[in-house]
Amino acid sequence: MTNPPQLTESGDKLTTLHPSGAWTAANVEALERLCERAPGGRVGAIDLSGVSALDTTGAWLFEKLARRFSTPSAQIAFVGVPDSYSGLMREMQGVNRRKPLARRHGSALLDFMERLGRGLAAETASFLQMLGAVGIALLGVLRHPRSLRLTSTIYQLYRVGWQAIPIMVLITFLIGAIIAQQGFFHFRKFGAESYTVDMVGILVLREIGVLIVAIMVAGRSGSAYTAELGSMKMREEIDALSTMGLDPVAVLILPRVAALVIALPILTFIGSIAGLYGGGVVAQFYGDMAPAIYIERLREAVSLTTFKVGILKAPFMALVIGIVACSEGLRVQGSAESLGKQTTTSVVKSIFLVIVLDGLFAVFFASIGM
Partner 1 sequence: MPAETIAIHVRDLVVGFDRHIVLDRLSLDVRAGEIIGLVGASGGGKSVLMRALIGLLPKRGGQIEFPATADGEIGRRGVLFQQGALFSALNARQNIQFPLREAAHVSEALLDEIANAKLEMVGLSADDGDKFPSELSGGMTKRVALARALALDPALLFLDEPTSGLDPIAAGEFDSLIKTLQRTLHFTVFMITHDLNTLAAVCDRVAALAEGRIVALGPLSSVLKSDHPWVKSYFHGARAQMLHLETT
> Which positions lie near partner 1, rule CB under 8 A?
1, 24-26, 28-29, 32, 55-57, 60-61, 64, 84, 87-88, 91-92, 94-96, 98-101, 103, 333-335, 337-338
Q: Which is nearer to partner 1, 256 or 331 (CB)?
A: 331
User: Which one, 62 or 316, has the nearer CB to partner 1?
Assistant: 62
Using H for helix, E for strand and C for coil, what is the string for the chain? Answer: CCCCCEEEEECCCCEEEEEEEEECHHHHHHHHHHHHCCCCCCEEEEEHHHEEEECHHHHHHHHHHHHHHCCCCCCCEEECCCHHHHHHHHHHHHCCCCCCCCCCCCCHHHHHHHHHHHHHHHHHHHHHHHHHHHHHHHHHHHHCHHHCCHHHHHHHHHHHCHHHHHHHHHHHHHHHHHHHHHHHHHHHHHCCCCHHHHHHHHHHHHHHHHHHHHHHHHHHHHHHHHHHHHHHHHCCHHHHHHHCCCCHHHHHHHHHHHHHHHHHHHHHHHHHHHHHHHHHHHHHHCCCCCHHHHHHHHHHHCCHHHHHHHHHHHHHHHHHHHHHHHHHHHCCCCCHHHHHHHHHHHHHHHHHHHHHHHHHHHHHHHHCCC
Instruction: Identify which of residues 182 and 338 has a Cβ nearer to partner 1 in the complex.
Output: 338
CA distance 74 to 76: 6
Q: Smallest gap, in angstroms, from Cβ of residue 336 to partner 1?
A: 9
* CB 66 within 8 Å of CB 93: no
Rg of the chain on CA atoms, in Å = 36
Task: Report the relative pairing of strands 43-47 and 51-54 from DSSP bridges.
Answer: unpaired
CB of 53 to partner 1, least distance (A): 10
Q: Smallest distance from the beta carbon of 21 to partner 1, in angstroms?
A: 16
Nearer to partner 1, 26 or 273 (CB): 26
Q: Which lies closer to partner 1 via its Cβ, residue 92 or residue 283?
A: 92
Are the beta carbons of 153 and 258 closer than 8 angstroms? yes
